């Protein structure tokens, strides 16, 4: 079963628009960790955020914000006032407490059009 689902394969927005990237996860663990990574065209994976399952506070970092909803098993990522440099593939990932591996979603390709 897919542990992390990113239903949006590709999104295009015009610069300065807000955009939300969806992530739904599945786990039986009560303690787990959620992550977002950015993969720009150059190919590297850039760590953006980690969220623990017991901390449901939403987080804001500059133009980025994350909405963690345990009740719906979702961990959505919003970029406010998008910029061309935000164009990348964004991956959501899950790590369960009893295990080391990170389960990645299939990624959402975001294109910001100038």
Partner 1 sequence: EPEVTQTPSHQVTQMGQEVILRCVPISNHLYFYWYRQILGQKVEFLVSFYNNEISEKSEIFDDQFSVERPDGSNFTLKIRSTKLEDSAMYFCASSEGGGAFFGQGTRLTVV
| 47 is an interface residue for partner 1 by CB under 8 A | yes
Which span (22-30, 54-62, 71-79, 103-111) binds partner 1, by CB under 8 A? 103-111
Q: How far is CA 2 from CA 11, 50, 81, 107, in A?
A: 21, 20, 31, 13
Answer yes or no whether residue 59 interacts with partner 1 by CB under 8 A. no
- Does 111 interact with partner 1 (rule: CB under 8 A)? no
| Contacts of partner 1 in 65-94 (CB under 8 A) | 91
In the chain, the largest separation of any two C-alpha atoms, in whole Å, equals 44
Q: Which of 32, 75, 90, 103 binds partner 1 (CB under 8 A)?
A: 103
């Amino acid at each position: 079963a897919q542990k992390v689902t990113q239903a949006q394969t590709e999104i295009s927005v015009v610069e300065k628009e807000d955009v939300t990237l969806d992530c739904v996860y599945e786990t039986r663990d009560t303690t787990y960790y959620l992550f977002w990574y950015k993969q720009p065209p150059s190919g590297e994976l850039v760590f953006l955020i980690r969220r623990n399952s017991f901390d449901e506070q939403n987080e804001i970092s500059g133009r980025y914000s994350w909405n963690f909803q345990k009740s719906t098993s979702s961990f959505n990522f919003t970029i406010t006032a998008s910029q061309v440099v935000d164009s990348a593939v964004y991956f959501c990932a899950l790590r369960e407490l009893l295990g080391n591996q990170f389960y990645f979603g299939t990624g959402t390709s975001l294109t910001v059009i100038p």
